[in-house]
Each structure stands twice: as C-alpha cells, then as structure tokens.
Structure 1
Amino acid sequence: MKKMHNYYETNIRAMEVDVFVLDFSYDVEERSPEIYIWGISREGERVVILEKEFRPYFYALLETDTDPETLATEIKGLSKPQSPITDVKLLEKKYYGEPVKTLRIQTIIPAYVRIYRDQVAKLKGIREVLEADIRFYMRYSIDSGVKPFHWLKAEVEEDELGGLRVKKCYKLKKILKIYEANPPIMRTMAFDIEVYNKYGFPDPKRDPIIVIGVWTAEGPRQFINLRGDDIEVIRDFVKFVVDYDPDIILGYNSNGFDWQYLTERASSRNLKVDVGRKVGSEPSQGTYGHFSIMGRLNVDLLGFAEGVEEVKVKSLDNIADYLGVVPKASRVNLEWYQIPEYWADPKKRDTVLKYNLDDARSTYLLKDVFLPFGEQLTIISGLPLDQLPMASVGYRVEWLLMREAYKFNELIPNRLERPHESYKGGLVIEPKPGIHENVVVLDFTSMYPSIMVKYNIGPDTLVRGECRDCWTAPEVGYKFRKSPDGFYRRILKVLLEERKAIKEKLKDVTDEYERRRLEERQKALKVMANAFYGYMGWLNARWYSKEGAEAVTAWGRETIRKAIEMASGMGFEIIYGDTDSIFVKGDLSKVGRLVEEITSRLDLEIKVDKKYKRIFFTENKKRYAGLTEENKIDIVGFEAIRGDWCELAKEAQRMVIETTLLKGVDEAVKKAKEIIMRIRRREFNLQELVIWKSLEKSLEEYEVDAPHVIAAKKAMSSGYVIMKGGKIGYVVVKGVGKVSDRVEPYFMVKDKNRIDVDYYVDKQIVPAVLRILEPFGIKESNLKGGGMDILSYFRDR
C-alpha cells in the first residue's frame, strides 16, 4: 500500500511548464554539477529549472591508423577519483566537412575537462583534442537547443527552493519544445554610483560611496551616505535589489567601474553584495569582462553605445543627448572631478544627487534604444544578453556557428594563435571631385554573404589541388566545390532568407510593437550575415580561412567592375564606387532597367539605395556629403578623419558641409569665416575645445612626449589617475615652445583667456574646413581674411 502511495505522489508532482529563458549558470552540489535555467513562467512567476543529469565532455580526434579500443582503455586509465572518466565513446563526426573518428570523453566535474584534455593530448594516436574550452552551461545550451529569450516547454517535477530567490524550482525531466513567442514583461532597473574621491582616481579601500541612484518603472530611488559611512548605503541597495527582484539590471560602464567598485568596497567593509537569485551569490567577473549576476541579466549599455560611431566620446550624457533620450539641456551636467567639491559643500550637494539620478534615468531610458536590437541578437546568436554587449561581433557570429555545428555533426575547431596576414580588400573607384546633381546610389544587397552563398565559400569547401566541379575565384585562383553545401552556405542561406521574408512581412504589419520587433530582427539578421566575411578573416576565428576571405573580396571586385561596365554601356557616368555600391548619374528613367540587367546577369540583387539632389566629393576615397531627395544631409567619412579634433572643429566642418550643399561654396566660406571670428572673440565654451585622445599604452611605455601623454602626466601629478586604455581630454593654452609644452588637462583650465586661439584657428578649424573646401579652390588665406572669385573658379574648371 505504501509503494502505491509513493507511486501516486511521484506522478502527481510531474507537470508541464512553459518558461521564458533568461540565462544559464551552474554550480557543483555534492560533487555533481547542476545547471540552472533561469526564467519567467507563463504566469509571470520567476522560476528556475534544474538540469541534474547533463555531464561535461570533450572530443579526441584520432589518427587514421589508431586502434580506438586500445586508446579508449588508455584514456580510462587516466581517471581520477575526484572526477572519474565515466564514458569514452567512439563516434563518427565531421571536421571541416570531412568524415573523422573521435572519442567522446565524459567526466563529472566541469573543471576536470581541462585537466583531462592536457593529458589526453599527449597520448600517441591523438591527432587533436577539441571542444574542451566550451563553458559548461553553454555546452548544455548548444546540445539541448535551449536558448536565451526562447520559450521552453518541459516536463518537470517541483523541487525544493533550497536558498533560491525564485517562486518555484523545478527538476527537469524532459524537454518537450523550444519555441519563439512574445516575451513576458521583464522587470528592469538601472543604477549608478557616485564616489567621494578627493585624492584623484577612486580607491575602494579608501573612498566611500556617497550615493547609489536607481531607476525603475516605478520611478527613482536613492541610497545616500549622509553619515560619512557607506555600510548602510550598500546594505540598503542590496536589500532593494533583492526585494525588487529585477530580471535585468542596467548600467553604463557598470562592468568597467560600478560593479567592481561596489564589490571591492563592500569587501573592504566586510559586506557581501548578495544580489543574485541564489542566496550568497555575488556579482563575479567572467567572459568578455562582464559581471555575471546569478539569475539576473546584468547589461552594460556601454557595449552597445560603442557601436554609435557618430559620437566620439561615448560618455553617458553624450550618448543620451545624441540619441534624443535625455538632452543635455534638460539634465544636470557635472564633470567627474567636480563631484568631491560639490559633495563637500552642503549648498551644492543637491546638485550631485540630481546628477546621479539623471545618470540613472538616462541609463534606464536607453534600454528602449538598445535592448530591442540586443534581444534579437541574443535570439539569433544564442549568446546571453548580459554577455552580448561585451562580446565582439566575431564572438557573436562564432556562438551561432558553434550551435549550428552541433546540429550538423561538425566538430568545433580550437581557437589558435595566428600571425597577422593581410589581403586585398574591396574595389574602390576614385571619386570625381566637385558637386554633382541628381546622383543615384546602387547598392548590392548583402554582397559578401551573397557571394559566399553563391560560390559555396568556406574552410570546409576549399579544394587544394585539382577539382573537376569547383568555382574558381578570379585573381587569386582559389577553388571551392560546388556541392554539397558548405557550413557557411547552409547557415547564411537561412539568415538571408529569413531577412527577406521579414522585409516582405513588414509591408503589411500595422501593429506598432510587432513592426518594431520585426525591424530589429531584420537589422540583427543583416548585421550577423554581413559579419560572416569579416569573421572568416578574423585571426581569432575557430573557422578561420584566409583563402575564403581573399576569394570573397576577389569576386566582389569582379562584380563591381562588371556592374560599372553595364552602367557605362547604358550611358551612365560613374561618379564613385566603393566595395558593394556605385554612384551613377545620367538618364534617371533608365535606372530601373539598369537594376534589372545587373541583377539578371550577375545573379546578385542590387537596388537603389539613395537618390541625392546634390552631392560633393573631395579627392579622397570614402569621404562625401550629399543632400537626399528627402532633404536629409548625409555625411560620410569626414568626421572620422582625425581623432585629435575638438568638438568645435567637427561642428565647423559639419556646418560648412551643410552650407555647401544647401547654399553653395561662397556661403560656406562666409560661414567658416564667422566661426573663426567667433573663436578670436573668445565666444566659445571651453568644453568645445577639449581634444580627446586614448592612451594606448601605460605612460611609462611612451618614448615620445606627445600632447596627450604630457596632459596625462600633468593630471597624474595633480592626483588624478589616468590608466592604460582610458581617455585624456586636454586644451592648448598660450605660451612658448611646442604644442606638447602648452597642453593642460581640460579640468585644470577655467579661464578662457588662457586658451591659445591661434592654435585652434590654425590647427583645428582651418584644416577641418579645408578638407571640404580645398577641392573647390579655397585656400587658407581665403578663410583668414583673403577673398576669391568663386564664379571664376568654376569657369576655369
């Protein structure tokens, strides 16, 4: 009777659940690994599913003449009692598309994979040891197909919570389905800390946290150090996080500063930043430099902001202002060096508190700009959202490839150190300098990934030697088999076809949420597909192929040349060409026919990307500016010419570009003269003159005293620490000698009268402006007082 009762209870506990997967982690309990699948149930409850049966493993690739049974016995002899080798299995796999024999070696504790890897690699008959460097919980995600931001339908049994801060804990019995559907509402909080660091760069062992600002859907919260001791501040913040229970914690440079400072400061005060969904778990730094918080997604938005190329100094206030999230004019703006001064003055302290909340608010609101795109990249790549912003594009592509490799029974290559190799890039046609009217830009749709698909390019399809049924790349002569489909072609086909289908679907979508989701999805698909070529030529890539990368650019150059021949044959004038696009002018009624002919003959889709009413080129490649039919001004290449330009120089260049396009060159010259006169009258903000430069090395490694190195040394001598990889901002002041002798850290100059206005006119504004106007015959003397007959210049041309 008792046996029947237990059987009944066991079955009554078995159930099906649908859980939206947020993240993975693992722990070793009683010498056995457990994988935590953190998520949100259909009912909106925070839950965790425990996978207790999955075990770590790696592969040993065998030499062709090796006896598998003998080698398997030898490998089992390496077994250690702390984590025994529990299975050695012979499997047929593929390696770069070729059939191979491998031994799959399984153990218990994930950390022992690397120990056994090194020992197995030394055995005779082992060609290579593979897949020993894949993190355990990601190994599970690859094998099971359970991916972040997907729904998991599973058969589970309810388990004890055991110190887990979730509503329910389940033990996984069986995966029933993995699918995409609308996500649940996720609780999100943003935070920002301020530190009292009157001695320069903050030291967590010395300098207290003065305020932690938080922003959520319910509004702001602040934890303020009013007693000179930050123990209470840290405790209250930790309690808030646990009580609010966010799924996503947002920061801005939180991986680079806030979390590290907070955890080290807490440790110095004998406190724990116990904010994870497992009691006792603190934020810990892991892959790609991100801080992992158990059960929550810690997302540093600076990683996404790095992709905003238009903003050079990617401070939170600059990014939020540029993206229109929080304009600088509507928030408190403080420099980091002002915080100690303001905090020490009771009358100014409120300014610091407002500044802190404005930072938290800006971070929170930036989620609407960055997270929709980030979520789609996570869905495609399978890389958790907290790791995604910190991972390079190459790593994002690689995680997708690793997941697909498992499906195709392909072994994942090791990451190797390789010497630098260069190869010829895309074709760039010299621009025709001057102003042109009615120019059309024809752009090949996803040219490089399309070429990779068309010619089946990849490391596993490369044929060395004779080949009867191969594509042969022009110029370089590399051969790629026509069939069967290679690893890259199979994956790229899916990405490109899905993007095409989404773009068609978008034509009929009226729901605003669904439209935004689909737009971000097609954008993410485009970014991932376009990154495949770059990944193939990336020296850190597991699936590296210099030959493949060279072949892609060779076919790309041939494609552009043929497109130009067809355009010229129809009477179009080629103004410029760059990699995957050509700029043409002529009879615009023939553009449609030209597009059809190029698409048909080259079997690659080309489309009209833009139409310019007016566009001008200098003599330099990749630099132009145009006025579109929608009266939008496009500026390409100019603002990135030099990294040591101040904001006023860049603004002067932008204004001259706009004036040239809208009103002509003579008006642009007048505009440049006005800006120069404004500087001479000292009608500027000091911030506009700051020149920012990165320190690529530590200060002692620099052999030349460049201006930014001198400025950094001066900052350090005043108590401020400028570290390798950081940026230093400086201004040039009046005096004698070289520029290096006359630089000062920007925060040490308060008086405009100290500024060397001649330097900024001669070395900043005039060079920036002349890059636009020089092709039209404008000289420095014309900007600084001389004149010229613009009309006669154009007659002479």
Structure 2
Amino acid sequence: MSRSTPAFLLTSEWHDDDQGTELTFWWSTAEGPLATRHRQPGVCFIDSDHSERAQAIAATLAWPVEIKPLALQSFSHQAASACYMPASYLYRWRDVLAEQGIVCREVDVRPTDRFLMERFIYGAALLDLQSSPPRLAPTRYVPKLRCLSIDIETSMPHRDRPDRLFSIALYSDSERQVLTCAEPRPGQDEQLQLHWLADEAALLQRFIDCVQRIDPDVIIGWNLVQFDLDFLRRKCQQHAIDFTLGRDGSAMGWRRQRNNPERVFVHIAGRLVLDGIELLRNATWQFESFALNHVAGELLADQKLLHGEQRGDDIERLFEQDPWQLARYNLKDCELVWRIFERADLLNFAIERAHMTGLAPDRMGGSVAAFENLYLPRLHRAGFVAPNIGEGYHQRKSPGGLVMDSVPGLHDQVLVLDFKSLYPSIIRTFCIDPMGLITGLHSAQQRSSAPQWPDDELVPGFFDALFHRQQHVLPQLIAQLGEHREQAKQHGNQALSQAIKVIMASCYGVLGSDGCRFYDTRLASSITMRGHEIIRRSADWIRQQGQRVIYGDTDSVFVALQRPHDLKDAYRTGRQLAAGLNAFWRQTLLDEYGIDSHLEMEFETYYRRFFMPSIRGEEVGSKKRYAGLAQRENGDETLIFKGLEAVRSDWTLLARQFQRELYRRLFAGEAYQQWLRHTVEQLVNGELDQQLVYRKRLRRPLSAYQRQMPPHAKAAQRLEAWLQQQGLPARFRDRGGWIEYRMTVNGPEPVEDCPSSLDYGHYVEKQLRPVADALLQFTGEDFTTLAGQQLRLF
C-alpha cells in the first residue's frame, strides 16, 4: 500500500486498556480495507474556578484525571478547563462532580467523533502511513464500495414451537446463492446456486464463512437490523456459534436504544450495515407503505415472487415441498433490495451524507449529532465550550411556521411563490446562532444604553434575543453548505445536493429540539417568528401590486391572478412578483436593520385550476390541504394533491382513487356526473371490494384502548382472538402496530378474518360522499343528487 492514501470511513469504535483509550477506525481505500488505531484520552470541560477542587476529588479517588486550563469559556463567560482521562471514566466523573455542585460539559461527545471532528474530517481522510500512528488530514474521497445484499426466510412465529431458520440468500455483483437447511430435492436453476446444509447450525456457519470470503464493505437489506441480523444473532446464541462477521474476526456488536427498547443498533467492525427502509426515509423518500413489495412496485414496477395475506404459510409449505422455489423467492427479495438501492441512488446518498456531516453512513437519523459534528469544532475555535442539554432559555414556547387563513373554493390561475430555504436564509440574514446569541446579549449588557436599529454590532431577534453581527458560527456554516449545494447541482450530483438539503433543513429543527444541547427558544422563535413576519409582509406587498393572496403556508404565498392570463403571461407575472419581492426585502432589511438580505423568493408553480377546501361543516378555509392542476411552461400538466384524502394512507384506496379521478375530470372540464353514478353502482354491486381495506396504526398497545375503542382497535381485538385460535403469538398485546380491516354489517373485521358481508352503505357515506361534497359544494351540485337511485338502497 502506498505511504499516503485517501480513505473513506466505514466504522469506528473505542475501548480502554492499561495504556488509556484506543480508537479504531476502519477505512475503505483503493487498495483495500485498512484499520488505523490511535491513542487519545476522553475529555470534558469544567469552569476553571472549580479546577483545584476537582483535582483534589480525582486524587482522593485515585482516578487518572488531568486538569488543564484552556483559552475557552462557557456560555456564561466563565473560563474553562479541560479534564483528560480514559474515556470509560467520563460519565462517572460527571456524576461525582455533580454531587459536589460542579458542572461537566461535553461529556457525551463520543471519543471517536471528537477525534475526527476536531480535525475537520468528515467521511474521508488522507492517511499518512509513514507516521505511527497514521496522521489524518481532511480530504474528499468517493470509494467504490463492495456491497452484499442479504435476506433470510424463517418460520412464522408460533407460541408452541421455536422459530426456525429456513434459508439465507446472498446477492452481489458476483454472487447469486442461497443457503438452506431444507431436505435436498432435485432441481436446477442456472441463475441460482443452491447450497444444502445439514441443519441450522451448519447454515449459520456457512453464512459467516461466506461473508468473510466475499468480504463486503457494505451489507444491505430490508428491515435488516431490526429483523434479519437480530434473528441470526439469536440463532447463533442458540447454537453456541460466534457471530463473527467483523473484518477483524470480531463478533457483531448489538444493543437496544435506552429509551426505545424496540430500536436495535448493530456494529460490525469494518463493514457498514445499511437498511433500505431507514435509508430511504433519511433521504426523504415517501411511500404509503415501506413494505418491500410496495416500494419495489413504486420504484421498479416489479414485485416479490410471493405476496399476500398467506405469504407466511406459503413460505413454510415451500420449505417442506419445493425448496428450489423458496430459494428463488428468497433471492428475488435480495435482488429487489439491490435494485432499489441503485434506483434511488441510496449508497451515494449515504456516502455524501457522511462527507457533509461526519456521521457514519449507517448511523440513521442523528440530525442533532450531525449538527454538533459540524458546529462544535468551529465553536471551540471561536473560544467557547458547548452548554449541556437544558442550560438554554426555554421559559416561553416557540411557535411553529405561519399558516394563513385560506380563501376556500375553486380558483382559476393561481401562482405559488416560495422562499428558497426560508429558515436557513433567515439564519444567514439575521445572524441567528447559539454563540452569536450569548455574545450579542453580553455585548448589550456592556453598553450604557439600549441598542437602536440599525446597529453596527447587533441584530434583534424575538423573546428579547440579540445576535452579534460578527461573532457567530452558524450563518457562515449555512452559507458554505449553500455554496456546496449549488456546486453539486451544477455538477449533476443529485445525491450530494439532497444530502445537503436534508442537513440545511435540519438546522432549525435541532435548535428547536429539547434533545439538542443548543436548544434555546430564543433561537427557534427568532427563526419561526421572523418567518411569520416575512410571509405576512410579503403578502401585503403582493396585495399592493393589485393581486389577491388566497393562502400562505410557512414559506409560500398563493396568489390568484385578478384577470385572465395566457400561459406565457402568467409565468412572466410570477417571475416579476418574485423579483419585486426580492428587491423589496433587500431594501427593507438594509433600511431597518442595516443587514444584507439572503432571502430569495422564487416563482415555483402555476396552477391552471386550483381548489382550496373549507373545513368540513364550516365556511372557513382549511389549511395545508389543497389540490390543483399544475401547468408547466411547455404546457405539460400534473395533478397535485396536498393533505387531501388522495394522499392519505388512512383512507381507503376507493376514496383516494375516486378523489383523483373526480378532481381530474372537473379540472380538465370533462363530464363527471355519469362516471360518479357508475362508481357508486360498482361499489354497491361488490365490484370494488379490493379497494375497501382500511390500513391504520395502533400507536399504543391494545390494552390501552379501554374507555374508547375506535374501529381499528376493534379490528385488532378481533384479530388477536383469531391469532390465538390459530396458535399464533399476539400482535398488539404489548405494543402498537398496523392493522388492515374492512367495515362489515357486523362492524370492523381484520382482513385475516373477515367472514361478514361488507357494509357498502358505510363506504358510500364515509368514503365517497365527503370526498365528493367537499368539491361539489362549489359547483352548485351535491353527491346525493348525482348518485341517484343507488343511494335509495341505504
């Protein structure tokens, strides 16, 4: 291997030994995987006034703690000292000092994270292998990672017999194989290698051997962490097999989240573990269901070889009777996951996210950790130690985004003007920043009189917040992220652009989260309340131009044109309004605060027809709910729904498809009366039964539904009784979950046990009528009249 090489970080871990704390990093390089090891003590910070007392406590306990003064200060402007020790002592040290009234800060920063972030190493590093240990420098490196998709097939859970492992499929660029412990059967498949193992123990050991032989950088799957790897881990324990998947021969690490025991985390030394469901969510993909078959249908127009309500029984039958077909099914699932990763560019998204945040690609969620990775090293270089959770101001609650009252009804020619990245732009423009807040307030305290606007040093916020115009971190960080995103767009790097968008959007969220050490309602309110002001004043300016504002939502303003426009003229008007607003804000902010505006209004969408519903049973317009026929400049049209039944998974497929077609016909000027009547006729004749399933989630255990039993809970109760009769384990007794059911003449019944006749009158009244009448009230028609004779059945 060359003496200096770029490397991408795969995994990291740390442990204490006789010499202190050792950090281990596994990297992917062009010449293969590589591990580096480094020595660095754990560190936390205390006010320097307490240093002597803290040192005496360490001496009394005979703990290896070294305390040194630093050129840093707390957010209370107290000089800070660092406490160095083996990392395993950090939390005990914090607790001991807390008993003496001494506050420790930044105890919870992982030693491996601190080591990398303080060197500004995010995702990749240039390794100088001539030094020992290797020196690390920041770089950008996009690796060619070797992936392996895995999937397992098991028996259905049963209270009277143990779980059984049937097969494990492995799929990669070069592998197409399935391992099974089924009884060997004759057969052949040129696309599949099927290996017969004597029993579960042999199957597990062969799988471990295959992973070590293939040596992937990344293991991918569907519900991989929460099910597949957890199941395999438990099976290895049952058979006294070491689950040694690590590149160094170590066993897979496994732990539950402290405050959410159902959440499982795994660690495999030198190998990333990426779950398709979690990664899609992190990349902001949205689906009605994240079941593999549904996502594959949406993204690939493909599906699993087995699907439906009896899939579990089919799997067990195939294991006993046709293991070749079970192997094909098992491998197909692996293939679908592989193709979804390719289609959604998930691996590149994970790599780029790591480059931007420093979080390992398999560390899902983590918006607070990502923010701190970016912010802490810059804060330290500015001379401050971060506060602990709960130290910020939170006596008044921060409001959410502004949602204006809407003008309900059918509208022609509506423009949507949208502020590009409004909250990040507000942060940049008004210098909103945790450090900028405490330096701004401190500066104001040193003055003999209150500041007057515009001010050369301060910018006002809300809840008496003041922000320093020069001493801050976040505005520059937002600016850098914005520049990186524009470059990514110019180079066609969609994965990087999306990763940066997610990070920028999270900056407000973490400042408004009480799980973040920088949580302070003066910060969050100075963003959201400034957003309120900007939207309101923008709407006022638009009205002054002779246009009609019919709605506003967080960062958007909806404008109904006051006279007929052709398509070209409508687009020209939209761009003129956006340009005028940008000029208005540039001049206004310069005059009122002496600051440069980074607000950027864009003309986003032109709706040829637009519908804003009223709140059901009232004349007041609803919020965050609308539909429209959007028309692009080339004339192409798209039907868009926001918040309505068509995009809500808790409504039946019947209602969603009915709404889409009704609105499409009305917006396009097509006849819909006869179609509506025919749809009702099909429903009551039993021709649409497959579209009548409700899918809802119990958010609590079934036992929690005592005083009130909503329909989906009643269906779940019936399902539990049916499962008990079948000898299957309870599904909702100790936790919530999803339930699918139909409404029958005998009430809600789960799809697994639904012998009663369907209640078609319920679906007419509760699914079709409200969808239709919400729109038809503005056309002078009503559902009952249009449905005609069919309603007399009820």
Whether TM-score is above 0.5 comes out as yes
Distance 1:729 1:782, change over 3 A: farther
The equivalent residue for 1:236 is 206
Displacement of 1:382 in angstroms is 1.1
Cα drift, residue 663 of structure 1: 3.4
Q: Matched residues in 2 for 1:276 and 1:326: separation?
A: 36
In structure 1, what is the equivalent of residue 531 of structure 2? Answer: 556
CA distance in 1, matches of 2:294, 2:28: 35
> 2:419 maps to which residue?
444
Q: Where does residue 71 of structure 1 map in the other structure?
A: 53
Give the 5 Å matches for 1:695-710: 695-703=698-706, 704-710=708-714
SS at match of 1:595: helix
Name the counterpart of 2:4: 16
User: Who is 2:759 aligned against?
Assistant: 756
The CA deviation at 1:721 is 2.7
Aligned twin of 1:47: 34
1:375-421 C-alpha deviation (Å, 9 max, x unpaired) = 22221111111112xx2544433433334434444323223499997
Task: Give the drift of 1:347.
Answer: 5.1
TM-score, L = length of structure 2 = 0.83
Partner of 2:696, secondary structure, is strand
Aligned match of 2:693: 690
**1:119 Cα deviation (Å)?**
1.2
Q: CA deviation at 1:641?
A: 7.6
In 2, Cα distance between equivalents of 1:299 and 1:90:
42
- Report the equivalent of 1:7: none
Query: Retained in 2: the 8 A contact 1:259–1:283?
Result: no
SS at match of 1:544: coil
> Residue 305 of structure 2 is aligned with which of 321, 332, 335?
332
Partner of 2:47: 61
What is the correspondence of 1:195-344 to structure 2 with a 5 Å cutoff? 195-197=154-156, 199=158, 206-227=162-183, 229-285=199-255, 289-306=264-281, 310-322=286-298, 324-328=299-303, 331-335=304-308, 337-344=310-317
Match of 1:168 in 2: none
Structure 2 letter corresponding to 1:698: P
Q: CA deviation at 1:194?
A: 1.7
In structure 2, the gaps of 5 or more residues are: 184-197, 258-262, 587-598, 615-621
Residue of 605, 615, 619 corresponding to 1:610: 605
Q: What does residue 600 of structure 1 align with?
A: 583
Task: Name which of 150, 165, 174 aligns with 2:135.
Answer: 174
Consecutive unaligned residues in structure 1, runs of 5 or more: 1-12, 158-170, 510-514, 737-741, 788-797
- After superposition, give the CA deviation of every residue in 1:319-368 in whole Å (9 maximum; x if it has no partner): 2222x22523xx42324753234423555655543332222112112212
Query: C-alpha deviations, 1:179-205, integer Å up to 9, x for none?
Result: 113x221111111212112627xx9x9
Query: Structure 2 matches for 1:350-361, cutoff 5 A?
Result: 351-361=325-335
Structure 1 partner of 2:69: 90
Q: In 1, are the aligned partners of 2:702 and 2:736 still within 8 Å (CA)?
A: no
Paired AA for residue 698 in structure 2:
L
Query: What's the offset of the Cα at 1:602?
Result: 0.6
Question: Could you tell me how far apart the structure 1 residues matched to 2:696 and 2:531 are?
Answer: 36
> 1:335 and 1:674 mapped to 2: Cα distance?
29
TM-align CA RMSD? 3.0
| Deviations, residues 564-600 of structure 1 (Å, cap 9, x unaligned) | 2222222222232212111222563444333222112
Kept in 1, the 8 Å contact 2:627–2:641? The answer is yes
Equivalence map 1:379-394=2 (5 Å): 379-388=355-364, 391-394=365-368
SS in 1 for 2:78: strand
**Paired amino acid for 1:597:** G
Q: Equivalent residue of 2:410, what SS?
A: strand
Q: 1:58 to 1:361 in 2, by over 3 A?
A: same
Match of 2:25 in 1: 37
Q: Is the 8 A contact 2:552 2:558 kept in 1?
A: yes
Paired with 1:199 and 1:784, the residues of 2 have a C-alpha distance of 48
* Residues 641 and 647, structure 2, Cα contact 8 Å, conserved in 1: no
User: Deviation of residue 643 (structure 1)?
Assistant: 5.5
Q: Give how far 1:642 is off.
A: 5.7
Q: In structure 1, what residue type is equivalent to 2:220?
A: L
| Pair 1:681 & 2:685 matched | yes
| Equivalent pair of 2:222/2:337 in contact (CA under 8 Å) | yes
Change (3 A) 1:670 1:532: farther
Q: CA offsets, 1:482-541, max 9 Å, x none?
A: 4223232232222223334444xx1xx4xxxxx2xx222222222222222222111212
Give CA deviations for 1:735-754 in whole Å, capped at 9, x if unaligned.
34xxxxx22221234x6x73
- How far apart, in 1, do the equivalents of 2:274 and 2:47 lie? 38
Amino acid at match of 1:135: R
The structure 2 residue matched to 1:634, chosen from 618, 629, 640, is 640
1:569 pairs, out of 527, 544, 548, with: 544
Q: Could you say what secondary structure the match of 1:755 adopts?
A: coil
**Which residue number in structure 1 is paired with residue 188 of structure 2?**
none
Change (3 A) 1:218 1:660: farther
Task: Indicate conservation of the 8 Å contact 2:182/2:323, yes or no.
Answer: no
Aligned to 1:163: none
Matches within 5 A, 1:274-673: 274-285=244-255, 289-306=264-281, 310-322=286-298, 324-328=299-303, 331-335=304-308, 337-344=310-317, 346=320, 351-368=325-342, 369=344, 370-388=346-364, 391-416=365-390, 422-462=397-437, 467-468=450-451, 469=455, 470-473=458-461, 476=462, 478-503=464-489, 506=490, 509=491, 515=492, 518-584=493-559, 585-586=561-562, 588=570, 589-603=572-586, 604-619=599-614, 620-628=622-630, 629=632, 630-639=636-645, 644-664=650-670, 666-667=671-672, 669-673=673-677
Instruction: Return the alpha-carbon distance in structure 2 between the equivalents of residues 72 and 420 of structure 1.
Output: 32
The answer for the alignment partner of 1:167 in structure 2 is none
Please give the alpha-carbon distance, in whole angstroms, between the structure 2 residues aligned to 1:286 and 1:155.
36
Distance 1:76 1:533, change over 3 A: same
Find the partner of 2:740 among 716, 726, 730: 730
605-614 or 431-440: bigger deviation = 431-440
Summarize the alignment of residues 139-154 of structure 1 with structure 2, pairs less than 5 Å apart. Answer: 139-148=114-123, 150-154=124-128
SS, match of residue 118 in structure 2 = helix
Structure-2 residue corresponding to 1:784: 787
1:640 deviation in Å? 7.5
Matched letter for residue 362 of structure 1: L
| Alpha-carbon distance, 1:449 to partner | 1.4
- Rounded to whole Å, the distance in 2 between the matches of 1:649 and 1:606 is 36
Give, as a single letter, the amino acid of the residue that structure 2 aligns with 1:553.
T
- Aligned-partner SS, 1:232: helix
Contact 1:455 1:480 in 2 (8 A): no
1:194 corresponds to 2:153: yes
Relative distance call for 1:67 and 1:693 in structure 2 (3 A) is closer
- Are 1:404 and 1:491, in contact at CA under 8 Å, matched by a contact in 2? no
Q: Given residue 549 of structure 2, which amino acid in structure 1 is its aligned partner?
A: I
- Contact 2:155–2:315 (CA under 8 A) maintained in structure 1: no
Map of 1:743 onto structure 2: 748
> Is the CA contact (8 Å cut-off) linking 2:676 and 2:787 kept in structure 1?
no
Shift in Å, 1:277: 1.1
**Residues 545-565 of structure 1: CA deviation (Å, up to 9, x unaligned):** 212222222221221222222
2: CA distance, partners of 1:773 / 1:535 = 43
